[in-house]
A and B are shown apart, each in its own frame.
Chain A
Amino acid sequence: MIATILLFSVPLILAAMGEVVGQRAGMIDIGQEGKILIGAFVGFIVAKITGSLIVGYALAVVAGVALGCLSTWFTAKLQLDQVVVGTALNLLALGATSIAFRIYVGDSGKLLSIDKAPALFGLDPVVYLAILSPAVIWFVLMKTSWGLSVRASGEYPPAVEAAGISVIRRRFEAAMLAGGMSGLAGAALSIALSGSLGEGMSAGRGFLAIAVVTFGRWRAPWVAGAALLIGVIDAVQYRFQGQAILGFKPPLQLWQALPYLGALLILFALGRGAGAPAALGRAYNKER
């Protein structure tokens, strides 16, 4: 059961860790869903063609970094609205992967599966990466000067400029890190978690990651805890699907909706509260 929970949480934790960095730098990234989807496709197809899982993971990360750069170019450099840019990126990913799936799989209906990585102490190696990531992200954000300027870029950008550091540059770097994590999350989803490729397989995990960052109060360890909680709900619902509880058999769809319903209820219970980066969602403009 614990192995299941960990495996279910891996993509969400990785994606949420990326989203923490991005949001701390002042960017709310709706396009994360699309980055995960692209990561899942690139990782899986590359791993399948080259026969090397590591190359698959690596190129998924590269794809995520590239998409992070692209969206920051629009949101930070051109100062376009972050929600619109994110929505556009999601549509691009949805369309591109849907056509790639068609070209790659075609009408053959062949089953796409991949041999998973050999287990390390009973767990897929990528699980350890996910366990390690909150500590690393926490250290980078809270204990390095780079992390300080990233956080300041999301809190009070003029101070960053006054210190002679470019806000736009910090946002680019943060988005590249976030994008890489999303790509990795996607590859973990297709290669480690499901071991297969499906259309639209990100199934809202990128969106859940955004919710998780809010109720983890923008702090890496708390966010990881929140992601784990959603992972627990997801694993539990998977385990209990179709079983009767106290003589009542809840419909399958209620179980499937549980992670999303849970996230919404937790957000309702907590409210937004304090802790949100003050400049979250806003483009930085030097002249203003």
Chain B
Amino acid sequence: MKRAALLVGSLLVILGVTLAVLGLPVFESMKLLFTGAFGSSRGLDSTLTKMTPLLLVGLGVVVAWRAGVYNVGGEGQFVIGGLAAATVAALLGKNPSGVMQVVVLAGGMLGGAAWGWIAGWLSHRRRVDVVISTILLNFIAIFLLQGLIAGALRDPEVNLPQSARLEDSLRLMRFTRQGDLHLGFIVALFGAAALWFLLNRTTLGFKLKLVGANPLLVRAQRLNADRLRTFAISLSGALCGLAGAVEFAGVNHRLGQSFNQNWGFLAIPVAVLGGLNPIGTAFAALYFAAVLAGARNLGGFSQNGAAIVAIVQAIAVLGFMAVNQWLSRRREAVREVAE
């Protein structure tokens, strides 16, 4: 608890310093950020809406990294999830039943899982480094998105490269008439709870963590480490794909050129700062979503919300890990002296 408080405090300090470097009045901007994020129902709505993809992709990062698989392909898996969901929606035709929303989301999960599985398979069969393959797959996914919205998925009635508008019955329920907050937020919270249960209360979760912590022990137990890793990155891809599907069916209702919004990259520090556990990740996602939403109030920098978040995240991750390392070293030294 003390550590969480320390982390929250230092995150605020880092945000303040970043604002100061940008030449903004620190306290006033912080207040503006806060009221922008939480001060009105509109702000809160925007914060929780932005928290949804950050949390889902962050959970994807958690499950893969805990299993020792450095999936940095959240961005690509997010995009493929959106594409798969849009494809399923297009195949369902006009006026599908509302129940089909489940099928659309499942399609997104399946697409993301498949995209993650490719990297897992390449690593398992051809020993291609997951970091490299997932990065390359990110670029391929983004070009695929741009190709498909200009081609097969394009809405013929609009002059821009965009996919067709999602049928009303397939849109995720919204909580208010004015806001964007949608059912996907609940899905994301549920996902966090489910992942917590998987990692902490099931044998499979234990095996996944074991692969990450001690692969040799896994082999000694006659478990198939490669299969566990491939499963981990597929599940990770499924969560990122779900994020894409939820963003498509809940917020945008169509795919455009800027669909990806760097969610996949911004979610990595979210998971790291969340201590690679689902509950911590939820809080980290809330914090950065609030900065993103609140940045709207920052006048000249209102367009740079994502940039400010990226900077704060980078400094926070480096600082957080450095302090952690220092603390654990000091503890070791104290123990040695005691012995």
Contact = CB atoms under 8 A, between A and B. Distances in A.
A66 interface: no
A257 B143 contact: yes
Interface in B129-150: 129, 131-133, 135-137, 139-140, 143-144, 146-147, 150
A273 B70 CA distance: 20
Contacts of A254: 143, 147
Contacts of B314: 88-89, 91-92, 95
B72 A260 contact: no
A211 interface: yes
A241 interface: no
Contacts of A270: 126
Given A98-B307, A251-B150, A267-B126, A260 B131 contact: no
Contacts of B306: 95, 98
A264 B315 contact: no
Nearest to B141: A257
B126 A102 contact: no
Given A83-B70, A84-B272, A267-B122, A98 B304 contact: yes
Chain A: interface size category: 35 or more
Interface string A90-124: 11101110110010000000000000000000000
Interface string A239-273: 00000000000011110110011011001101111
Contacts of A257: 139-140, 143-144, 147
Contact of A91 (B126, B128, B136, B265): B265
Q: Chain A CB within 10 Å — which of B132, B146, B269, B311 has the most? A: B132
Chain B: interface size category: 35 or more
Given A210-B132, A214-B132, A92 B311 contact: yes
Contacts of A267: 122, 126, 128, 132-133, 136
Report whether over half of chain B's contact residues are helix, strand or loop; otherwise say mixed: helix
B260 to A, nearest CB: 12
A253 B311 contact: no
Given A95-B307, A95-B311, A214 B129 contact: yes
Contacts of B309: 95
Contacts of A238: none
A78 B322 contact: yes
B310 interface: yes
Contact of B303 (A94, A102, A214): A102
A204 B301 CA distance: 26
Contacts of B322: 74, 78, 80
B325 interface: yes
Given A91-B269, A251-B151, A268-B126, A204 B139 contact: yes
B324 to A, nearest CB: 9
A264 B321 contact: no
15 contacts: A80-B321, A83-B131, A88-B269, A91-B265, A91-B269, A96-B307, A252-B150, A254-B143, A261-B140, A264-B133, A264-B137, A267-B128, A267-B132, A268-B126, A272-B129
A-B interface, 8 closest residue pairs, ranked by CB to CB distance from nearest: A253-B147, A95-B310, A272-B127, A257-B143, A92-B314, A95-B311, A98-B307, A95-B307
Interface of A: 28, 30, 74, 78-81, 83-85, 87-92, 94-96, 98-99, 102, 204, 207-208, 210-211, 214, 251-254, 256-257, 260-261, 263-264, 267-268, 270-273
